[in-house]
Amino acid sequence: MEKKNKPLFSKTLTAFLFLFPFFVLYTTFIIWPVIQGVYVSLHKWGLMGKIRFLGLGNYTRFLQDKYFWEALWHTTWFVIISVPLLVAVPLCLGILANRGLRIKKFLRIAYYVPTVLSVAVISRIVRWFFEPYWGVLSFLLHDLGILAQGEEIMWLQNIGLIWTVVTLITVWWTIGFSMMLVISALQDIPEQLYEAAELDGAGKARQLFGITLPLLKPVTYLILLLQTIASFKIFGQIQLITGGGPGTATRPLIHYVYDVAFRQSDMGYGAAMSYALFLILVVLSYIQLRIQRKKEE
């Protein structure tokens, strides 16, 4: 018995030694900050340290904060307009890039390349392209005669146009990863299914809606979940493109948390709002997973 237990003990010890560095780093940089954040959210806490204990005071405070609800609505609105595109576009591009075309490798690279760019680079490209008077799009529209001399479209000043620009640029920037998930799922579909469908006289459209899309449901639900969470956490492109403006018209919740915590030096209140967002994401994720399981059953 002792000899049989030794290999098991040796494997367990080896696994523990390999996992221990990760466990230490994960605890130090993920678990402990989460615990510390809860502690901070219960205090009146500035950048110079805590001042006094408030209990749930910070959590009841944002319930009456109109700027919190305004920022939450901006975040929700971005999720509503962006997530359908962030799910549908990668699905379409993944199917297109998986077809037996000679340029499919080029298509995969072209669709994925924007993903490797940083948010700072993406935001700079947007400003360079959409700024009135000196932006690339402005020069192009004037050269084509679409805009008269002296006439400009305020892409980054008009609230409706800002959300359109931010949504489109986010889709272009982030679809690469989701597209690769779709391609990976497509390659797991047995070719025999398509061969059998052709023998039964099913055309390409029938195969798409009868085989491909139904078998892509699991990865579609995964993309929906990931993109919903990512869209609720929008910050970088808004901060660098509009600064939350004009005024606070495009300020999302993460941006408001940043302003309160670091610009107003109210870390406790900022932490409380961040945990409110965390709770919202947990509830939405749970609802999505429950819906997915019911449909699979």
For each successive 10 residues of the chain (297 residues), what is the average pLDDT?
A: 62 85 90 90 81 87 92 94 94 84 80 89 90 85 82 84 91 91 89 84 84 89 92 91 86 93 90 92 89 77
How many CB atoms are located within 10 Å of the residue 212 CB? Answer: 18
User: Is the CB of residue 69 less than 8 Å from the CB of residue 58?
Assistant: no
Q: Would you state the pLDDT for residue 1?
A: 46
Asked if residue 2 belongs to a domain, the reply is: no
Contact 215, 187 (CB under 8 A): no
pLDDT score at 75: 94
Domain hosting residue 138, numbered range:
40-296
How far is 124 from 129, CA to CA, in rounded Å?
9
Q: Does any domain span residue 268? A: yes
Half-sphere exposure of 284 (CA within 13 A, CB side): 18
| Run of H or E including 33 | helix 32-41
98, part of any domain: yes
**Domain-embedded: residue 26:** no
43-46 and 49-53 beta bridge pairing? antiparallel
The string of DSSP letters for 93-132 reads HHHHHTSS-TTHHHHHHHHHGGGGS-HHHHHHHHHHHH-T
Q: Answer yes or no: is 22 within a domain.
A: no
Q: Is residue 249 part of a domain?
A: yes
Give domain status of residue 139, yes or no.
yes
Please tell me the total count of domains within the chain.
1
* Confidence at residue 200, expressed as pLDDT on a 0 to 100 scale: 81
The CATH number of whichever domain residue 87 belongs to comes to 1.10.3720.10
Among residues 105, 110, 106, 169, which one has the least CA distance to residue 137? 169
Q: Residue 69: its pLDDT value, please? A: 94
The dihedral sign for the CA sequence 145, 146, 148, 150? negative
Q: What is the pTM of this model?
A: 0.86
Identify whether 178 is part of a domain.
yes
